[in-house]
Amino acid sequence: MNATLDHLHRLYAHTDDPWNFANSAYEQGKFIATRGALMRGQYRSALEIGCGNGALAQHLAPVCQRYSGVDAIERAIVAARKRVPAAAFHLGCYPCPLPGTGFDLVILSEVLYFLTPDTIAQLARDITRCAPDAEVLCITFLGDTEQSLQGIEALELFKVGVQPHLALKPVADTGRYRIDRGMMEGAA
């Protein structure tokens, strides 16, 4: 995990938007598709792991009474707090304590492949515990992640970890990314 964290620190060293979320047609289209993949119009409490600079939160927080994000990079958290001041953003490199329980929406957008297989299994257990009735969205990059895990491989590990409480099914596939969605079934 140290190599991944070092990689993320290098990406954020000179900018709070290393993936060009603000101007990338790919990223903007993915944010719109992610919001469009939501099953409901309103949520009580959302959790986004790997929230980055809050670019996705900007699209999703308006439909959530409470929005919490977690990211490992302080510069990203500072930018997220400026972008979405009504949301709560927490600095933490997973595995770390999640900020609360009772979430009814969990978002994992292009984050699983930054984790190890063991950490993905732990995240699956933690989400099962802190969000037993949540809608879960996994947004997966389908290209080369430049990490030890590729996107689909990491997604499959997560799907195994949340069984039998969550069955994720693809709801969008552009060839560049895929969105999977499912409902936790009272896992607590």
Which tens digit of pLDDT belongs to each residue from 163-173?
Answer: 999 999 999 99
- Please tell me the total count of domains within the chain: 1
In a domain, 51, yes or no: yes
Q: What is the mean pLDDT of the chain?
A: 92
What pLDDT shows up at residue 65? 98
- Beta strand 177-183 with 169-173 is antiparallel
Which CATH number characterizes residue 110's domain?
3.40.50.150
pTM of the model: 0.93
pLDDT at 20: 77
Question: What domain range is 104 assigned to?
Answer: 2-183
Q: By percentage, how much of the chain surpasses pLDDT 70?
A: 96
- From the list 130, 149, 157, the residue with the least C-alpha distance to 47 is 130
The residues with which 163 forms a beta bridge, in sequence order, are: none
CB 105 within 8 A of CB 46: yes
Is 125 domain-assigned? yes
Spatial distance between the Cα atoms of 1 and 95, rounded to a whole number of angstroms: 10
pLDDT at residue number 187:
54
Domain membership of residue 188 (yes or no) is: no
pLDDT digits (tens, 9 = 90+) for 36-90: 999 999 999 999 999 999 999 999 999 999 999 999 999 999 999 999 999 999 9
